[in-house]
Structure 1
Amino acid sequence: MSQEASRSDPVDPVDRIQAEWARSYPHLDVAPIGVLGRIQRVATVSSQRLDRNLERHGVSRAEFDLLGALARADEPIRASEVVSTTLLSAAYVTKLSDALVRRGLIRRRKSARDGRVVLLEITESGQSVVDEELPQRLADDEDVLADLSAAERETLVALLRKVSRSLSDQRM
């Protein structure tokens, strides 16, 4: 059993997986699995919940990310700005934009300042999807974090920010 799982803390699936790796590869330090395995598990479960909620709108998680970027923007934005605020590639943003335009969830328009520039903006229908799903997503996320105190959440955020910053030079 991992040292991270004290006798007072119940084990989770990651403890079992880490113990199996340690047993199979005793010459390797499998401690990172305790951290990154849990991050991955939380992300996977949260993403699966979001996917299920988005099914009723016929919207994928990536499409919701694009809609969210447009909903957060104060004005129509370039596709490159969507790329910079999401983890989506430029080519994928173009593909998703095409699909969302066809479904009436976003629209393209020319920039008033430079007619060569194409801007993306969310439509009323797209905004309705975000307005309905964001509160549900936040409620689901709150359920995941419910056992943490405010201080524990702040500590977790600080630690994850530190890990996240270490990735900033490594593009996906």
Structure 2
Amino acid sequence: MPEDQPGTQPDYVDRVRQQWEQIFRGLETGSVDIVARINRIAQIIQLRSDAVLAENGITRAEFDMLSLLARVGRPMAPTELATELLISGAGATKRIKKLRDAELVQRDINPQDGRGALVRLTPKARGLLRPILESVLKFEAGLLSVLDPSTAGELARDLRALLAGLEPHPGDP
């Protein structure tokens, strides 16, 4: 049972910690309070938001790539897309092919070197992206409605600090 919040119902992570305590008495599992909750929340949000995206006829992988291209506002090399999306080169190539087949991206020869490629959004993708993004944002706002605005602001600040400490920095291996 969460000790710092009287009246709060135990959640999945509380049960996991209790199970570990039964198996390995005295094992320090405090990090699980945060890390396991972040992982569990991410899994739940991913599953539910994937359903929202599916209702819009798109997968998470496709949405992520289209969103990146729209946000940067310029054509990108496949390796650059892979790096930004934290996926393999083969994964990026697979997504690009699927999006190209759906006429949502176009792959052009890179005029800088003539060998590489640049990927850009098509007008069709631009027309589809805003309504899809609006449905995702509405869904996400609904998820966060269980938090009061000040708690949501504090959580956003704390998660920003955690992410900033975990993100790779220029020059990191």
Which bin holds the TM-score, normalised by the shorter protein?
A: 0.7 to 0.9
What is the match of residue 6 of structure 2?
Answer: 7
Q: Matched residues in 1 for 2:59 and 2:139: separation?
A: 17
Residue 48 of structure 1, CA deviation: 0.7
Residue 124 of structure 1, CA deviation: 2.8
Cα deviations by residue, 1:22-61 (Å, 9 ceiling, x for unpaired): 2222231112221112111211111111211222454321
What is the match of residue 51 of structure 1?
Answer: 50
Superposed, which structure 2 residues align to 1:108-147 within 5 Å? 108-147=107-146
Asked whether the equivalents of residues 79 and 119 of structure 1 are also in contact (C-alpha less than 8 Å), the reply is yes
Q: Matched residues in 2 for 1:70 and 1:127: separation?
A: 10
Asked whether the equivalents of residues 62 and 88 of structure 1 are also in contact (C-alpha less than 8 Å), the reply is no
Asked whether the equivalents of residues 69 and 120 of structure 2 are also in contact (C-alpha less than 8 Å), the reply is yes
Moved more, 80-89 or 97-106: 80-89
What is the match of residue 36 of structure 1?
Answer: 35
Asked whether the equivalents of residues 100 and 107 of structure 2 are also in contact (C-alpha less than 8 Å), the reply is yes
Identity across the alignment (%): 28
Q: Matched residues in 1 for 2:131 and 2:111: separation?
A: 31
Q: Which sections of structure 2, spanning at least 5 residues, go unmatched?
A: none
Aligned length: 170
Residue 21 of structure 1, CA deviation: 2.1
Residue 107 of structure 1, CA deviation: 0.8
Matched residue type, 1:62: A
Asked whether the equivalents of residues 2 and 9 of structure 2 are also in contact (C-alpha less than 8 Å), the reply is no
SS in 1 for 2:31: helix
SS in 1 for 2:163: helix
SS in 1 for 2:41: helix
Residue 145 of structure 1, CA deviation: 1.3
What is the match of residue 106 of structure 2?
Answer: 107
What is the match of residue 155 of structure 1?
Answer: 154
Q: TM-score, normalised by structure 2?
A: 0.83
What is the match of residue 88 of structure 2?
Answer: 89
Moved over 4 A (4+): none
Asked whether the equivalents of residues 54 and 60 of structure 1 are also in contact (C-alpha less than 8 Å), the reply is yes
What is the match of residue 15 of structure 2?
Answer: 16
Asked whether the equivalents of residues 2 and 19 of structure 1 are also in contact (C-alpha less than 8 Å), the reply is no
Q: Which sections of structure 1, spanning at least 5 residues, go unmatched?
A: none
- Flag the 1:150–1:52 CA change in 2: closer, same or farther, 3 A: same
Q: Matched residues in 2 for 1:47 and 1:41: separation?
A: 10
Asked whether the equivalents of residues 2 and 18 of structure 1 are also in contact (C-alpha less than 8 Å), the reply is no
Matched residue type, 2:3: Q
SS in 1 for 2:6: coil
What is the match of residue 64 of structure 1?
Answer: 63
